[in-house]
């Protein structure tokens, strides 16, 4: 998909493929950082006692570097929009078992994906015009029309009060 010349880029992504952790284990850690700002996501990953947190933190740092280098988005303006893990190649191994049987061992891999997006407040700040007219100038330029309010309908309780 081609981007227009003046279009504001708000997303950056990174991925790690064939990571030797099962996708189920990676998804648990991905759920912890979804929707968090970058500093908070780093803290969560640093104190999560799972092997996948180390791999995801490397992908997070790569995505932040992509955003800063490719799109000039400062890391303070980023948050984790989406994080997911897809199933990669499964390596098949085996082990000898009792009575001549063979036991299959599946060593699963994951593809970790992270999408970072600019915070909505940062987008609004960048899209705003550089200078606004002072309030006094705007009031003089655009006189307000006086609007009359319609009288509200009287309820049964109001009619009783008037009759007393």
- The whole-number pLDDT of residue 128 equals 67
- The whole-number pLDDT of residue 6 equals 58
**Ordered strands of the 102-118 beta sheet:** 11-19, 102-118, 78-96
Scan for tokens 């880029």, then name that residue: 9
Q: How far apart are CA 82 and CA 35, in angstroms?
A: 7
Dmax (CA) of the chain: 103
Q: How far apart are CA 110 and CA 59, in angstroms?
A: 13
Domains of the chain are 11-120 (3.90.470.10)
- The whole-number pLDDT of residue 102 equals 95
Tokens for 152? 């509200």
Residue range 80-90, pLDDT digits in tens: 999 999 999 99
- The whole-number pLDDT of residue 24 equals 97
Residues of the chain where predicted confidence (pLDDT) is lower than 50: 1
Phi, psi angle pair for 117, to nearest 5°: -135, 150
């Amino acid at each position: 998909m081609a981007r227009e010349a003046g279009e504001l880029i708000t997303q950056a992504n990174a991925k790690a493929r064939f990571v030797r952790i099962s996708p189920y284990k990676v998804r648990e850690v991905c759920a912890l950082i979804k929707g968090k700002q970058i500093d908070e996501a780093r803290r969560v990953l640093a104190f999560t006692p799972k092997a996948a947190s180390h791999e995801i933190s490397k992908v997070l740092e790569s995505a932040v570097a992509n955003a800063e280098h490719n799109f000039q988005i400062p890391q303070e303006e980023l948050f984790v929009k989406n994080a997911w893990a897809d199933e990669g190649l499964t390596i098949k191994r085996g082990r000898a078992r009792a009575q001549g049987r063979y036991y299959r061992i599946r060593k699963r891999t994951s593809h970790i994906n992270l999408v970072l997006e600019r915070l909505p407040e940062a987008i609004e700040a960048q899209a705003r015009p550089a200078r606004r007219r002072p309030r006094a100038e705007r009031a003089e330029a655009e006189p307000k029309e006086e609007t009359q309010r319609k009288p509200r309908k009287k309820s049964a309780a109001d009619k009783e009060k008037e009759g007393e």
